[in-house]
Every structure is written in C-alpha cells, then in structure tokens.
Amino acid sequence: MRNINLSIFPLAIILLTGVMVSYGQNHDISQDIISGIEQEVNQAKKYSAESNLNQAAYYFSKAANGYWELGEYKKAAEQFENALEMSSSLGNNNAIYILNTNLGLIYTEIEQYDNALTAFSQGAIVANALGRKADVASSYLNQANIYYEKQIYTEALKLLQDANSIALEINDQRLLRNTYSVYAKVYDKLGNREESTKYFNLFAAITRKIQQEEVKVKEEAARQFVDDAASRVRTVETQKQATEKELQQKSVELTNKQIVLEETERESQEQLMQIELLNKERELQQIIISNQEQRRKIYISAIVLILVFLVYVLYNYYQKKKANQLLHQKNEEILSQNREIQLQSQQLRELNHLKDKLFSIISHDLRSPLGSLVTLLNLTREGFFTEEGFREVVDELSKNVGYTSELLENLLNWAQAQMQGLKVFPTVFSIYEVAETKLGFYSEQAENKGITLRNLLENDIEVYADSAMIELVLRNLIANSIKFCEKGSTVTVSASQMDKNIMISVADTGIGMNDEQVGRLFGREIFSTRGTANEKGTGLGLVLCKDFVNLNHGEIWVKSIEGVGSEFFFTIPMGSSANN
C-alpha cells in the first residue's frame, strides 16, 4: 500500500478513529499488536535520527492511534506529542491542527482538562491561520464542553457565542446543532430554564431538518439505483437474446455441415461397393477363361488373380485414406468454428464488462462534480453564500471542474480506442518541446504541492510518432507522478537511445508502489488510487498510455520501490526512422 502523508488526513476520519477506538480499551491486548506498535515507534525514532521528520511524524502518529485504540491513553498522548514536535519543525499547520485536536480528545478522556484546553486552543489558532472557520468553531465547542465539565459556565458561554457566530456565518447546520446542544446544557446548569428550553428547541428543529434532508438524499439515491439497475437488466437481456439467436444460427450451420459430411461418406461407400461388384464380374470372367484354358494357362490365371487382388487392396486403401482425410478436414473445420464461437462469446462478455465499467465511471465521477456545480449555482442564486464564502468554495470547485475536463478527455480517447476507431498519423517532431509544454501545464499544481519539475531532455531529440498520442502519454505520466508525490519531491523527464528507438523516462521521488500494485498496472482492469493530496482519478490514464505507445510501435513499463519513488519508461521510434 502507498504511504499516506499525515498532512492530508481527513479530519473526520482522525476524529472518528479516536472515538471508535476508545471502546476497545476493555478488549484483550494481543502480544502481536503491541509488538507492531513498538516497531512503529522504533521506525519513527529511526527516521527522526535521519532527519526525515515527515516520515517520523507519520509513524509517531500511527503508533499513537494504535495505543489509543487499545485504551493506552498516556502512551497515545506521548506519541502524539512526538508527532506534534516533528510537524511543528516542518511547519505543517494542517498536521499541527489535527494532532492538537487528537491530544485534546485524549486529555479530555482522562480528565486532564487543563492540558485539553491548551491543545484545543493551539488547534484553534492554527485553524484560524489556515482560514478554516469550521475547524475554529469545532475547537471552540470542544473548549466550551471542557468548561462545562469544570463548571466554569461563564467561559463556556463566551466560547459558545464565538462558535455560534462562525456557524451562522458559514451556514453550517450541524455545527449550529452541536452549539445549541451545549447551550441548552449550560443554561440548564445555570437554572435558566427559558434559555435552556429555547436552545433545546432550536437543537431539535435543526436535528429534524438534517434528518429530513438525509432521508431525502437516501431516497433519491435508492430510486436512482433502482432505475439504473432496471436499465442495466434490460440491456443485458437484449444482448443475451441477440447472443442466443447468433448461437442458434451457428448450431444450424454446424448441423447442415454434419449432414453434408454424412452424405459424402455415404457416396464414398456406394462407390466402393460398385467397384467391388465390377471386380467380382472381372473375377468371373477370368474363371471362365481359366476353365477354357485350364491346362494351358493355369499359371497365367493364377498370376492374373493375384494381380487383380493386389489392385483391389490398393484401391480400397487409397479410397479409405481419401475418405479419412476428408473426414479429418471436416472435423477441423467444425473445431475451428467452435473456437470462433467461444472467442466471440468471450469478446461479448469483455465488452459487457467494459461497458458496465464505463457507465460506472461516468455515473459516479462525472455526476459528482457537476452536481456540486449545480448546487453551488443554486445556493448562490438564492443568496445563501456571502462574497467571502463564495470565494472559499470557488477554488475547490475549480479543481473539480479541472478534474472533470481531464476525465472527459480520457473517457473520449478510451472509448474511441475500445471501438477500434483510432488511426495513427506519425510525424517527426521534437520530444523536448512536448515535454516542456506539459511540464509548464502542471507547474502551478506542482508548486502548490511543493514539488520540483525538471526537464533533462536534449532539445535536438526528434521522434517519429503520432504527436497527439505521445502528448497524452506524457501528460498522464507527469500528472500521475505529481499525484503521488509529497512536499519536497522531484519529477524528472529524461531520455536515452535504444537502437533505433528513444526511451523516455518520467521519474519521481514520491511514495512509490509495492510489487502487487506494480503488477496490476497496464492491464485491462481499470482501477484508481487517491493521491497524496487526496486527488481523485479514474484509472483510464495508464490504460490509454499503454494502448497509444503500442499503436506507435513502442513498449511501456515501470520500476518502483515503496517509499522511494517510481520511474515509468516508454519507447518510440527515432525521427530518423521516418526515412527508412
């Protein structure tokens, strides 16, 4: 599996993990689990000694979650503190926020409320610097809950007021619901029944609204699933009927050919019988002649009879051999036709699988970003967003639209390749210029992730291939390398000569792959893995790369070491090959 950078942990997963594992503290702790956690701690210390702070923070955090799951809260807090020290040295604010939040939850669990308040406060400061208002409000709510437990209700109300303001500003219904719930508890302890009842009613109203919206979404999803399933069933049934009809036609053809073969055998047998009758007549004539010349030609008659017998045997032998050859030929034809029918059935099953996969990709990955765009436009039209809130979601929406554009381009190329409609138009062109253009296209994305792009191609290298296809290959390989790189990694494009071919290399110092993942690449199976920044993909890119390189008389392969990086290679003819 790929190593996951701590800085991209979804907050919801981290918090959910902390809550879920707390219920396992009463379970029996096996020696294997403890040994595994200790190995992770040792691995973290090793990376720390090597000044690889990013990997050290990852393994400290992983060990902390293991102790948390076992209910070893003090040990978990110790390892989270180590991870926080590494992340602070790196200036990784996202990780600093997550680790402070986890520490706050653990300290709250063991009732070390002062330590918990310090952790949540630090988390709020970092979240505010990152501009993540929802996380700031969540930190305020956690602090308010601690003050509630400590019975310092005045401080709890101040923090609740701040959290409520942020929740109203960003229109976060769930955040408002949680704020109203704590308000109701605090006012209840203060004896203010009116305010407690008011906030409890607000809490109940928002809860009902959220539940109604969730039920509506689930009903719509279920209805759409049923419609899609019915459509797929009708399509499969139609194809099944067409296949059965074709098989019936093939069966009729085979039956007719079998009848022709049997007729041929019958005619051969009749011919043999006629020959046998003629021979018998000749024998009778010889007998008559021998009787007339018995004494004078007895030896001659015997010789003639022997010769006739030999002719008869040889004739029968060659006739049977001819009939056997004809029968063998017919059997070979029947076997060949059976293999052809099986091959057509297999191709039909593969086409059905590819079709289902294509519709699955379109229905899931294409619908989601378009649905987000429609939702944003509707909310903006109805005035739910402020100008600042609108700017915050535009960046994320821009990424989704960019991903959708890339998805559509890959889908169209892939669909054309599956229908065998692609034609190759090779020309002589500079591979350096193509690589420079593609690296420039992804320069902003690489800069945002802290990745260095390098073009080591010589500007006089020319190749003979379809330039559009090779551009797509380079674009997908460069995008794939950036997708699985972390901050400080490097993506390098280089080339070398192999006989009459140019071998292009796209290498990265990212998270790499294990042998199982490498073995699944470039097959007909379509699969995808999230990137280091949670980037999505369809799995079509490398399938298209293999098809396009093969169409241009080249080969493509990969070398990868987990935790070190990956290097993709492909070959294409040199520009001088166009004159040969």
Residues 498-516, mean pLDDT to the nearest whole number = 93
Minimum mean pLDDT among 77-81, 283-287, 403-407, 557-561: which range? 403-407
Residues 218 and 241 in one domain: no
Residue 398 has a pLDDT of: 60
Q: Give the CATH number for residue 95.
A: 1.25.40.10
Tokens for 282? 């000749």
**Domain assignment present for 558:** yes
Minimum mean pLDDT among 158-162, 236-240, 377-381, 425-429: which range? 377-381
Residues 169 and 58 in one domain: yes
Q: In total, how many domains does the chain have?
A: 3
Question: Measured between alpha carbons, how far is 300 from 308 in angstroms, rounded to an integer?
Answer: 12
Q: Is the pLDDT of residue 540 over 50?
A: yes
Above pLDDT 90, what percent of the chain? 47
Q: Determine which helix (DSSP H) or strand (DSSP E) holds 6, and give its type and residue range.
A: none
The pTM assigned to this predicted structure is: 0.39
Minimum mean pLDDT among 107-116, 209-218, 338-347, 560-569: which range? 338-347
Residues 78-90, mean pLDDT to the nearest whole number = 93
**Domain assignment present for 229:** no
Q: Give the CATH number for residue 510.
A: 3.30.565.10
Q: Which of 407, 417, 358, 435 is nearest to 550 (CA)?
A: 417
pLDDT band at 497 (very low <50, low <70, confident <90, very high): very high
Measured over all CA atoms, what is the biggest interatomic distance in the chain, rounded to whole angstroms? 150
Residues 206 and 263 in one domain: no
Residues 345-352, mean pLDDT to the nearest whole number = 66
Cα torsion for 488, 493, 496, 501, to the nearest 10°?
150
**Domain assignment present for 340:** yes
**Domain assignment present for 465:** yes
Residue 14 has a pLDDT of: 39
Residues 23 and 156 in one domain: yes
Burial of 371 (0-12, 13-18, 19+ CB in 10 A): exposed
Residues 330 and 472 in one domain: no
**Domain assignment present for 367:** no
Question: Measured between alpha carbons, how far is 549 from 555 in angstroms, rounded to an integer?
Answer: 6
Q: What are residue 63's DSSP bridge partners? A: none
Residue 417 has a pLDDT of: 55
Question: Measured between alpha carbons, how far is 399 from 369 in angstroms, rounded to an integer?
Answer: 9
Residues 196 and 240 in one domain: no
Residues 314 and 204 in one domain: no
Residue 73 has a pLDDT of: 92
Task: Note the pLDDT tens digit of each residue in 137-154.
Answer: 999 999 999 999 999 999
Q: Is the pLDDT of residue 15 over 50?
A: no
Boundary (domain end) residue, out of 174, 198, 222 = 222
Residues 176-199, mean pLDDT to the nearest whole number = 92
Is residue 136 within 8 A of residue 144, CB to CB? The reply is no
Residues 539-557, mean pLDDT to the nearest whole number = 89
Residues 523 and 471 in one domain: yes
**Domain assignment present for 128:** yes
Residues 242 and 338 in one domain: yes
CA-only gyration radius of the chain, Å: 39
Residues 429 and 560 in one domain: yes
Q: Which long-range contacts (CB under 8 A, 24 or more apart) does 523-530 make?
A: 524/350, 526/357, 526/361, 529/2, 529/484
Distances from the Cα of 414 to the Cα of 301, 344, 529, angstroms: 83, 22, 19
Question: Measured between alpha carbons, how far is 142 from 314 in angstroms, rounded to an integer?
Answer: 105
Residues 240-244, mean pLDDT to the nearest whole number = 78
**Domain assignment present for 231:** no
Residues 100-113, mean pLDDT to the nearest whole number = 93
Above pLDDT 70, what percent of the chain? 79
Minimum mean pLDDT among 110-119, 207-216, 358-367: which range? 358-367
Q: Select, from the ranges 170-174, 363-367, 370-374, 566-570, the one with the highest average predicted confidence (pLDDT).
A: 566-570
Residues 164 and 248 in one domain: no
Coil vs helix vs strand at 506: strand
Tokens for 3? 């190593």
Could you tell me which residues come within 8 angstroms of residue 573 by beta carbon, excluding any fewer than 6 positions away? 426, 463, 464, 465, 500, 501, 502, 552, 553, 554
Q: Select, from the ranges 255-269, 516-530, 540-554, the one with the highest average predicted confidence (pLDDT).
A: 540-554
Residues 72 and 213 in one domain: yes
Q: Is the pLDDT of residue 214 over 90?
A: no
Residue 429 belongs to what domain range?
418-579
**Domain assignment present for 396:** no
pLDDT band at 416 (very low <50, low <70, confident <90, very high): low
Coil vs helix vs strand at 266: helix
Buried b (16+ CB within 10 A) or exposed e, 197-230: eebbebbeebeeeeeeeeeeeeeeeeeeeeeeee
Boundary (domain end) residue, out of 193, 222, 251 = 222
Cα torsion for 357, 363, 364, 367, to the nearest 10°?
150
Residue 543 has a pLDDT of: 85
Boundary (domain end) residue, out of 222, 244, 262 = 222
CA angle 43, 47, 48 (to 5 degrees): 115
Mean of per-residue pLDDT scores for the chain = 82
